[in-house]
């Protein structure tokens, strides 16, 4: 009883000492995790508690933040009180929050967030299956569009709470890799909110919404009431498809409506460990986030048109307008304007991507982050045409994600290095995933976005350089649609087909008559070469693939 009284008096004292200042702090959310540090300290059951608090300064300036202690409760031992201090190196006044997927234009309601990092340490008294670390953030909430019973004042103490079961070994809770707790998004767009986490113990993670609650005391909290049609697991204005959570990455995705305003939500990541004796997963921990999302119609101009190549990495250069003639649908190219001249002397400006000779990769950098799940791994979002309009095969697109959700760097993997020098025309279009590239604010890149890949100083290989004697080799039909038969002698041979840039597009082993069925070959001229394996002799003939 003395312990509980001491704890209540401590909390009341903290509220009494700091309430006048913190009523103006306007805390809008926070995160809570913990780490087992006993392996380093040598102290059994030794844990570090980590809290990040978010606040808005649009009402007042605030020069420091401390809060109540963390209460550690369980059914096994008396409650403990853990002092939370500002993290080493963290300024008293906090640090400004970055854009954090800030898709809307700056205004006083959306750009003035500060974060504070608090750290505490506790030695738990022993093993227990239901430890809870509870933190009641000092006041005060401000109004939200999806919550009914929120009003200003010291009674609105945001509750952060995480769970630990150390009966299956010590445990660190999931740690956020990229923490989007304060986000500004556009109305009527495809939304993606990232809470991807990692687990140091290699346990399985389960992502889910939770109730937003107010903390009353260590053992008492009050779930807030949601305004219809909002609920704890549908807390945002979403279209009829609702809100989905990717269980592998923790990505929250939905299509926002035309509703505007501020919306609060709670999100938890539960940590499950496989126990052989039970042949089952057992919950051993959790992490928690209370977040804030603002929806507005004033989207930043830089994101409205979708992704674009980085001008710093790929500066624009002028090219004769007829460079575009190799495109099938030149009139649909969205990012090309005539910049000089007219008629036969017209020029266009295009991003220019440099190419390293003999490399089978091409690196593309973008002005804004691209959602990784909008990139088709097979490279079908991209198309490359050689100077003679031949299609350059692409094997894959590597997204280079720093975390699973977004990237500003995509690597194209080519089937073969670019075959020679010149200006290769690249374009971005709808891939086999049924979309083009999508930026982090939900805007698509218009199909047929076009750029130039410039190759120079590369060695040129020509399949015409060898003066081969006339042969009995025959190709029929010729011209054909990519399906043809090569008649050679009965010796074992390798048949190779080269395009006019010297790139080998077909390689097959055979003997005697050789049937080739490659109807995906691009119309144009090719060289068919037969190399006999026993004596090294070669034969070749020209072949034409006609328009299909």
pLDDT in tens, 397-413: 999 987 657 899 999 99
Q: Which residues pair with 31 in a beta bridge?
A: 52, 289
Query: Is there a contact between 269 and 287 (Cβ–Cβ < 8 Å)?
Result: yes
pLDDT in tens, 78-96: 999 999 998 998 887 778 7
Query: Is there a contact between 211 and 226 (Cβ–Cβ < 8 Å)?
Result: no
Q: Show the tokens assigned to 133.
A: 């670390």
Among 134-138, 363-367, 381-385, the minimum mean pLDDT is found in: 134-138
Query: Is there a contact between 259 and 271 (Cβ–Cβ < 8 Å)?
Result: no
CATH of domain 474-545: 2.60.40.3080
Full-model pTM: 0.68
Query: Is there a contact between 134 and 159 (Cβ–Cβ < 8 Å)?
Result: yes
DSSP assignment of 175-243 equals EESS---EEEEETTSEEEE---EE-TT--EEEEEEE--EEE-SSS-EEEPPBPTT-BTTB-S-B-TT--
Asked whether the domain spanning 474-545 has the same topology as the one spanning 302-455, the reply is yes
Q: What is the mean pLDDT of residues 217-237?
A: 92
Q: Is 534 helix (H, G, I), strand (E, B) or coil?
A: coil
- State yes or no: pLDDT of 65 exceeds 80: no
Task: State the number of CA atoms in the 13 A half-sphere of 103 facing the CB.
Answer: 30
Please tell me the predicted confidence (pLDDT) of residue 179: 63
Q: Which segments within 9-79 are labelled E, that is strand?
A: 27-36, 46-56, 70-73
Q: Show the tokens assigned to 440.
A: 């982090």
What count of other Cβ atoms lies within 10 Å of the Cβ of residue 413?
A: 14
Q: How far is the first Cα of the chain from the last one, in angstroms, to the nearest whole number?
A: 88
Mean residue pLDDT across the chain: 83
pLDDT in tens, 10-35: 333 332 222 323 334 567 788 999 99
Query: Is there a contact between 340 and 373 (Cβ–Cβ < 8 Å)?
Result: no
Please tell me the predicted confidence (pLDDT) of residue 327: 78
- Domain residue limits, the chain: 2-299, 302-455, 474-545
| CA-wise closest residue to 493 among 467, 473, 476, 479 | 473
Q: What are phi and psi of 15, to 5 degrees?
A: -65, -40
Q: What gap in Å lies between CA 31 and CA 51, rounded to an integer?
A: 6
Task: For domain 302-455, give the fold.
Answer: Immunoglobulin-like (2.60.40)
Confidence of residue 512 (pLDDT cuts 50, 70, 90): confident
Which 8-state DSSP code applies to residue 91? -
- State yes or no: pLDDT of 249 exceeds 70: yes
For residue 125, the surrounding DSSP H or E stretch is none
């Amino acid at each position: 009883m003395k312990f509980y009284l001491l704890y209540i008096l401590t909390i009341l004292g903290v509220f009494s000492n700091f309430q006048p200042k913190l009523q103006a702090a306007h805390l809008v959310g926070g995160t809570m995790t913990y780490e087992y540090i006993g392996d380093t300290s040598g102290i059994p059951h030794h844990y570090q508690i980590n809290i990040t608090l978010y606040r808005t300064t649009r009402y007042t300036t605030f020069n420091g933040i401390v809060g109540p202690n963390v209460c550690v409760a369980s059914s096994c031992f008396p409650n403990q009180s853990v002092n939370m201090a500002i993290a080493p190196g963290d300024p008293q006044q906090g640090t400004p929050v970055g854009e954090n997927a800030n898709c809307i234009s700056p205004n006083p309601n959306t750009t003035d967030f500060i974060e504070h990092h608090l750290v505490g340490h506790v030695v738990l008294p022993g093993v227990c299956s239901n430890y809870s670390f509870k933190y009641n953030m000092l006041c005060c909430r401000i109004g939200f569009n999806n919550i009914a019973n929120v009003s200003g004042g010291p009674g609105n103490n945001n509750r952060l709470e995480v769970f630990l079961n150390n009966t299956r070994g010590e445990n660190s809770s999931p740690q956020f890799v990229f923490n989007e707790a304060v986000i500004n998004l556009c109305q009527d767009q495809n939304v993606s909110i990232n809470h991807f986490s990692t687990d140091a113990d290699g346990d399985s993670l389960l992502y889910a919404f939770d109730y937003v609650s107010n903390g009353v005391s260590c053992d008492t909290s009050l779930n807030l009431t949601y305004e219809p049609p909002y609920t704890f697991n549908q807390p945002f204005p979403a279209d009829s498809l609702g809100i989905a959570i990717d269980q592998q990455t923790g990505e929250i995705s939905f299509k926002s409506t035309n509703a505007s305003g501020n919306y609060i939500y709670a999100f938890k990541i539960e940590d499950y460990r496989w126990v052989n004796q039970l042949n089952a997963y057992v919950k051993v921990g959790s992490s928690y986030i209370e977040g804030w999302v603002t929806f507005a119609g004033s989207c930043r101009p830089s994101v409205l048109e979708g992704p674009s190549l980085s001008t710093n990495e790929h500066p624009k250069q002028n090219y004769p307008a007829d460079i575009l003639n190799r495109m099938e649908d030149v009139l649909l190219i969205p990012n090309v304007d005539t910049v000089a001249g007219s008629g036969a002397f017209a020029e266009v400006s295009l991003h220019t991507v440099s190419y390293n000779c003999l490399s089978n990769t091409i690196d593309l950098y973008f002005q804004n982050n691209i959602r990784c799940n909008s990139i088709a791994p097979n490279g079908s979002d991209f198309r490359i045409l050689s100077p003679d309009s031949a299609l350059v095969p692409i094997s894959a697109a590597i997204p280079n994600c720093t975390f699973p959700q977004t990237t500003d760097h995509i690597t194209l993997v080519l089937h073969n290095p670019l075959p020679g020098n010149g200006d290769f025309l690249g374009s971005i279009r709808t891939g086999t995933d049924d979309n083009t590239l999508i930026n982090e604010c939900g805007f698509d890149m218009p199909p047929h976005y076009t750029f130039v890949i410039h190759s120079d100083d590369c060695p040129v290989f020509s399949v015409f350089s060898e003066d081969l004697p006339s042969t009995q080799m025959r190709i029929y039909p010729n011209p054909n649609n990519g399906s043809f038969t090569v008649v050679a002698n009965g010796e074992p041979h390798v048949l190779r087909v080269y395009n006019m840039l010297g790139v080998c597009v077909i390689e097959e082993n055979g003997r005697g008559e050789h049937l080739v069925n490659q109807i995906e070959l691009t119309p144009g001229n090719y060289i068919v070469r037969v190399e006999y394996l026993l004596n090294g002799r070669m034969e070749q003939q020209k072949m034409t693939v006609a328009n299909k």
